[in-house]
Amino acid sequence: MGGVATTERPLASARRLILPLALAQFICSFAGSNMNVMIADISDDLDTTVKGVQTTITLFLLIMAVLMIPCSKLTDRWGRKRCFMLGLTLYGIGALLSALSPNLGVLIVGNSVLEGVGTALLIPPVYILATLWFTDTASRAWAFGAISGLGGIGAAAGPLIGGLITTAIDWRAAFVFQAIVVATIVLLSRNLVDPLAPDPDRPFDGIGAVLSAVGMFCVVFGILQAGSDNTLFFGFLAIGAAFLAGFFLHIRRCERAGKEPLLSSALFRNRTCNLALVTQNIQWLLLMGISFVVSVFLQEVRGYNAIQTGVVFTAATVGILLASFAQRRLAKRFAQRTLIIAGFVVTLAGIGLLLGFVHTSSRAVAFAPGLFLIGLGVGAI
C-alpha cells in the first residue's frame, strides 16, 4: 500500500490509504470541540470552575500549536509513519488518563499535555503522506477533502457526540470514545508504508524550535487575554513578536551559513503558499472559534444541557458533509480559487444569519440556517 497514488489507483485502495489519516484528523478536531459541551459537568464532577475547564481546553490547543512546527520537522528524521504512530500512542494514553482523572491537574496532564503533544506529532504526517500519495489535482482534492471534511465534522459534530455521550453515560466516557477511535486508527495503519525513508542524520534546529515555540506561545497566550487583561494582552504580544522576529533572523542566519533551519524563509516568498496558510488559518479560526463561543453561550446564557447544545451544531455538520462529499466533483468543474472565494462568501453569509436570527429569536432553530451555511462554506474552503 506504499508508493504514490494517482487517479488510476483503485478507489478501494485509495480509501484504505486515506481512512486512518482522515480518522486521525477527525479525532483531533473532535478533541478540540467536544469538551465545550461538557464544561459544566466536568467542573461539577472535579469540583473546579468553568474557567478551570476552559483553561484545560485552551492549553490543549496552545501546546498543539506551539509544537506543530518542530514536530513537522521531526518527520524527516524519524519518518512520517513513526511520528504518526507515536502521536497516536501519546494521544491514546492521554485520553485514558483524562477519563480516569480525579482532579483538574490530572485532566490537564492527560488532555492538555499528552493529547496536545500527540496531536502535534500525528497531524503533520497526515498531510505530508496525503501529498506524497496523491499527486494530481482531482485525486488530491478528494484526499484533502476527505481529511479536512472529517476534521470539520469532528469539530462541528464534537458538541453533538460529546453531548450525547455525556448525557447518556458520563463525560469520562467521551475520553474512552477517543481512546477507542485511536486504537482503531492504529489497527488500520499497520500496513501503511512511508513513501520516503527516514533520515536519522537530518539536522534538527533546536534553537529555532525554542524561538518559534516561545514566540507562538506568547502570541497565542496574549490573544487569549484580550478583553480580560489588556496589559497582559499587549505585553505577551510584544514578547511573542520579539521571539518570532528573533526566529526569523535566526533562520536567515542559518541559510546564509549553509545550514538547514527549522523552517525555510523561501516558504514565505511563495505567494500561493502564503495565501494557503492564511486561508487555512482563517478557516479553522472560524470553525473552532464559532464552536467554542456558541457552545459557551448556549450553556451559560440559554441554560442548555450538553445534548441540547450538541443538537444545535447538527446543522453545521450537515453543511460540512455536503461540501466534503462534493469536493472531487467540484474540483473538476471549478478552479480552486473560485471554490475558496465562494466558500468564504457562504461562510460570511452564515455568520450574518447567525448574528441576525439569534438576536431576534430565542428558539434553538434560529441557529440552524447560519450554522448550516458556515459548515457548507468552511467545507468548501
DSSP states of 4-37: -B-TTS-HHHHHHHHHHHHHHHHHHHHHHHHGGG
Instruction: Indicate whether 211 and 257 sit together in one domain.
Output: yes
Which residue type does 292 have?
F
Residue with cell 444541557: 305
In a domain? residue 18: yes
List, for residues 120-172, the tens digit of each pLDDT value.
999 999 988 888 887 776 777 777 777 877 877 777 677 778 878 888 888 89
Give the residue from 218, 240, 261 where a domain finishes: 261
pTM over 0.95: no
Instruction: Indicate whether 92 and 193 sit together in one domain.
Output: yes
Instruction: Indicate whether 100 and 244 sit together in one domain.
Output: no
Nearest to 356 by CA among 367, 347, 346, 345: 367
Among the ranges given (108-112, 303-307, 337-341, 372-376), the one the predictor scored with the smallest mean pLDDT? 303-307
In a domain? residue 3: no
Is the pLDDT at 1 greater than 50? The verdict is no
Q: Which residue has the higher pLDDT, 251 or 229?
A: 251
Which residue type does 266 have?
A
Instruction: Indicate whether 74 and 212 sit together in one domain.
Output: no
Residue with cell 514578547: 239
Is the pLDDT at 26 greater than 80? The verdict is yes
Instruction: Indicate whether 219 and 194 sit together in one domain.
Output: no
Query: Helix or strand or coil: residue 134?
Result: strand
pLDDT at 5: 45
In a domain? residue 290: yes
Instruction: Indicate whether 44 and 172 sit together in one domain.
Output: yes
Give the residue from 213, 240, 261 where a domain finishes: 261
In a domain? residue 2: no
Model confidence at 115, pLDDT cuts 50, 70, 90, reads very high
Model confidence at 288, pLDDT cuts 50, 70, 90, reads confident
List, for residues 168-211, the tens digit of each pLDDT value.
888 899 999 999 999 999 999 888 888 888 888 888 888 988 99
HSE of 336 in the Cβ direction (CA atoms, 13 Å)?
11
Instruction: Indicate whether 303 and 290 sit together in one domain.
Output: yes
Residue with cell 450554522: 371
Instruction: Indicate whether 306 and 276 sit together in one domain.
Output: yes
Is the pLDDT at 8 greater than 50? The verdict is no
In a domain? residue 159: yes
Q: Select the highest-mean-pLDDT range: 99-103, 125-129, 262-266.
A: 99-103
Which residues lie across from 5 on neighbouring strands?
A: 134
Q: Which residue has the higher pLDDT, 289 or 218?
A: 218
pLDDT at 24: 92
Instruction: Indicate whether 151 and 183 sit together in one domain.
Output: yes
8-state DSSP, 366: G
pLDDT at 57: 83
Is the pLDDT at 7 greater than 60? The verdict is no
Contact 130, 324 (CB under 8 A): no
pLDDT at 227: 65
Question: Residue 231: how many CB atoms within 10 A of its CB?
Answer: 8
The CATH code of the domain that includes 66 is 1.20.1250.20
List, for residues 42-94, the tens digit of each pLDDT value.
888 898 887 788 888 888 888 888 888 889 888 888 998 999 999 999 999 99
Give the residue from 220, 240, 261 where a domain finishes: 261
Q: Which domain holds residue 300?
A: 11-204+262-380
In a domain? residue 374: yes
Instruction: Indicate whether 69 and 80 sit together in one domain.
Output: yes
In a domain? residue 108: yes
- Residue 141 host element (H or E): helix 137-168
Is the pLDDT at 222 greater than 80? The verdict is yes
Instruction: Indicate whether 273 and 129 sit together in one domain.
Output: yes
By percentage, how much of the chain surpasses pLDDT 90?
21
Nearest to 313 by CA among 173, 177, 161, 151: 161
In a domain? residue 355: yes
Instruction: Indicate whether 198 and 233 sit together in one domain.
Output: no
Model confidence at 381, pLDDT cuts 50, 70, 90, reads confident
List, for residues 314-343, the tens digit of each pLDDT value.
788 788 778 877 776 777 788 878 888 888
Domain count, the chain: 2
